[in-house]
Amino acid sequence: MAYHAILVAVAVALLALFVWWYGGNGAPMGAAEKAQLLETLRQRLQGTPGESFVDEARQLMASDDGKEFVMHNCVRYRAKALYPPGYHYSDDPREADKRYGKAIIPHLLRRACLPVFIARRSGRFIDCEGVPDWHYVAMVRYRSQRDFFHFALAIGAAGDDVHKWAAIEQTVIFPVKPLVNLIAVRLSVAALLALLTAAVWALT
């Protein structure tokens, strides 16, 4: 019985640790923190294709509430990947985007952020004049805007964003807050821990 009590306690502790790490309900950034992040972004992006990101970042920060959100991305590839001089990769934009995707996963997971949906366009239905032919859409969950901006700074410092700028001709990115969400990560982890605990219990 003591062993079973320890087993349950460990499972509860692991769930509590995961919920703490996964977060999603933190405090919003203060004015000083926002200003520091914006200045760091400005210095890092100066002279790059992402230079205009600073003004867009300032606009996004105005809505910061410290809570989790999903960033919706619509992406159109270049006809050929466009790397700066000195980079010796193929000119396939999809290969460049794969390099970017592979490089950013550790940066995302370090901050409890993760892709929740990625899909290629599979046809046409209703088109609006002037809207690009997007090649795919992606939705990424971020623990907070704070984590989103630190993620952006981390991939910039590592030089991983060069693959993104090489691959993408046009993109539209905007945050969304789910109204209906069937991707219940916390509940899924709790269910998995419960199943593992029950399996170990049955074997002892």
**Quick one: tokens of 10?**
């460990």
Q: For the segment 111-167, what is each residue's pLDDT rounded down to a tens digit?
A: 999 999 999 999 988 888 888 899 999 999 999 999 999 999 999 899 999 999 999
Domain contains 58: yes
Q: Is residue 107 part of a domain?
A: yes
Query: Which of 153, 127, 161, 165 lies closest to 57 in space, CA to CA?
Result: 153
Residue 5 falls within a domain, yes or no? no
In sequence order, which ranges of the chain are alpha helices (DSSP H)?
Answer: 2-22, 31-45, 53-61, 93-110, 145-158, 161-167, 185-203
For residue 25, what are the β-bridge partners?
67
113-149 per-residue burial string, b: 16 or more CB within 10 A, e: under 16: bebeeeeeeeeeeeeeeeeeebbbebbbbbbbbbbbb
For residue 1, pLDDT over 70 is answered with: no
Residue 9 lies in a domain: no
Report the domain count for the chain. 1
pLDDT in tens, 26-73: 999 999 999 999 999 999 888 777 778 899 999 999 999 999 999 999
Residue 102 lies in a domain: yes
Closest CA to 34 of 139, 154, 144: 144
In a domain, 8, yes or no: no
Q: Which of 20, 2, 12, 5 is nearest to 193 (CA)?
A: 12
Domain with 135 in it: what CATH number?
3.30.70.100
- DSSP β-ladder status, 114-120 and 69-77: unpaired
Q: Domain of 101?
A: 26-181
Residue found under tokens 């790397």: 83
Backbone angles phi, psi at 141, to 5 degrees: -85, 130
Distance (Å, whole) CA 134 – CA 180: 25
